[in-house]
């Protein structure tokens, strides 16, 4: 009896649905002419209507075209014989803290913006119970009060400078140290030397700050951001300049000593073969194949012969040209023949490996 009841119920539901569909068609709801009809192919029969004419006394702003298509500019335009290399996905921003060193100079490189770093940098001194005599988030600078050294008449003072890194999204932190025997008043402005008076103390503070920042992983999620410190230049210290086909350059806002070190490190990081390096002449000769960052060809690449040919090996001379405020990194072939694609790829590869 239970089975028969279920069958009867199913039959009743089916009949009700069928009747409803018929009623929809009869009432003008469904069917080919109903308002629930299938409209999938109607766009093929659509007609273009003439623009609506608005009386001059009325405003047509609300029906104006949202996107204006400009007319083609007259005159001859440059034709790209060799298309520029596509820009790779920016992977230079690293979520990490690195203590860099060049000779007697040291600094922290962190994969976060100045606006993200500044609040945590201030928190470091609070955690160390060190008062600040000056802090300027717009300039990215802060100074500690004079810190007495127990058992002596010496006291010490530190200045921390927050700057943009080589690439946008990275930041650099520098520390400067001075000391005296207490002869200068507390409120007296400090004339900071070009280098720390005690490099060991500078290095110790840098190491302590780097450990503190490395333990705060939420800095990359910008849990607290300083809007004032965010006004520090967003442009990194390394900038690509497109000066025409085969003349891509890197502009470094660094002094020559550090620019030379960073450039050499980037070339080594990219596994580019160095043929000759002459620092006094500010040039580095390299052999570039353009395959340092390319993966092995796949099945279809091997099937149609790609990857079996010999690598295209082009020898370049990379020069560092000091223009006063910046260092320009340029590359040209040693044999004088034009290689715009390889030149562009070489410069971009070096730029991507700058740290």
How high is the pLDDT of residue 301? 45
Bridge partner residues of 102 (DSSP): 105
Question: Where in the chain do CATH 3.30.530.50 domains reside?
Answer: 97-231, 238-352
C-alpha distance from residue 253 to each of 23, 94, 307, 324 (Å): 78, 20, 39, 10
How high is the pLDDT of residue 158? 96
Neighbours of 256 (CB within 10 A): 13
**Residue range 97-231, CATH number:** 3.30.530.50
C-alpha distance from residue 22 to each of 8, 28, 36, 37, 161 (Å): 21, 10, 13, 14, 79
pLDDT tens profile 117-176:
899 999 999 999 999 999 998 889 999 999 999 888 899 999 999 998 888 778 999 999
Burial of 347 (0-12, 13-18, 19+ CB in 10 A): buried
Bridge partner residues of 321 (DSSP): 328
C-alpha distance from residue 126 to each of 97, 159, 212, 229, 232 (Å): 20, 15, 12, 18, 23
How high is the pLDDT of residue 145? 93
Question: CA–CA separation, 245 vs 250, rounded Å?
Answer: 14
Cβ contact 220:321 at 8 Å: no
Give the chain's residues under pLDDT 50. Answer: 2-3, 74-94, 222, 292-309
Neighbours of 172 (CB within 10 A): 20
How high is the pLDDT of residue 29? 54
Cβ contact 137:120 at 8 Å: no
CATH class of the 238-352 domain in this structure? alpha beta
pLDDT tens profile 317-338:
999 999 888 999 999 999 988 8
How high is the pLDDT of residue 305? 47
119 Cβ contact list (under 8 Å, min separation 6): 224, 225, 226
How high is the pLDDT of residue 80? 44
How high is the pLDDT of residue 147? 92
Neighbours of 246 (CB within 10 A): 16
**Per-residue tokens: 315:** 């020898």
How is residue 58 annotated by DSSP?
S
Question: What secondary structure does DSSP assign to 125-177, as a single string?
Answer: HHHTT--EEEEETTTTEEEEPPEEPTTSS-EEEEEEEEEE-SSTT-EEEEEEE
**Shortest CA distance to 94 belongs to which of 166, 175, 174?**
166
How high is the pLDDT of residue 33? 63
Model pTM greater than 0.75? no
Phi-psi region of 140 (alpha: psi -120 to 50; beta: other; left: phi over 0): left
147 Cβ contact list (under 8 Å, min separation 6): 130, 155, 156, 157, 158
């Amino acid at each position: 009896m239970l089975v028969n009841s279920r069958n009867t119920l199913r039959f009743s539901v089916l009949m009700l649905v069928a009747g409803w569909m018929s009623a929809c068609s009869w009432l003008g709801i469904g069917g080919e002419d109903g308002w629930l009809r299938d409209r999938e192919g109607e766009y093929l029969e659509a007609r273009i209507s003439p623009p609506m004419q608005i009386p001059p006394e009325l405003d047509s702003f609300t029906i104006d075209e949202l996107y204006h298509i400009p007319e083609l500019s007259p005159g001859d335009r440059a034709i790209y014989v060799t298309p520029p290399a596509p820009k790779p996905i920016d992977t230079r921003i690293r979520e990490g803290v690195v203590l860099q060193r060049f000779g007697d100079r040291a600094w922290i490189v962190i994969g976060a913006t100045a606006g993200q770093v500044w609040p945590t940098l201030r928190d470091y001194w609070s955690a160390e119970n060190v008062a600040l005599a000056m802090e300027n988030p717009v300039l990215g600078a802060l100074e500690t009060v004079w810190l007495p050294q127990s058992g002596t008449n010496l006291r010490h003072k530190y200045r921390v400078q927050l700057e943009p890194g080589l690439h946008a999204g990275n930041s650099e932190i520098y520390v400067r140290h001075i000391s005296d025997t207490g002869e200068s008043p507390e409120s007296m402005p400090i004339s900071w030397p070009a280098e720390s008076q005690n490099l060991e103390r500078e290095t110790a503070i840098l190491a302590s700050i780097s450990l503190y920042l490395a333990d705060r992983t939420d800095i990359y999620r910008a849990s607290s951001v300083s809007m004032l410190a965010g006004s520090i230049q967003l442009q990194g210290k390394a900038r690509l300049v497109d000066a025409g086909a085969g003349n891509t350059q890197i502009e470094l806002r660094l002094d020559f000593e550090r620019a030379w070190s960073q450039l050499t490190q980037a070339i080594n990081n990219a596994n580019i073969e160095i043929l000759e390096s002459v620092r006094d002449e500010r040039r580095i000769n390299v052999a570039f194949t353009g395959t340092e960052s390319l993966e092995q060809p796949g099945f279809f690449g091997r099937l149609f012969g790609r990857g079996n040919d010999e690598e295209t090996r082009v020898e370049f001379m990379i020069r560092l040209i000091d223009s006063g405020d910046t260092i320009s990194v340029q590359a040209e072939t040693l044999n004088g023949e034009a290689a715009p694609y390889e030149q562009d790829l070489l410069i971009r590869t070096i730029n991507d490996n700058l740290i």
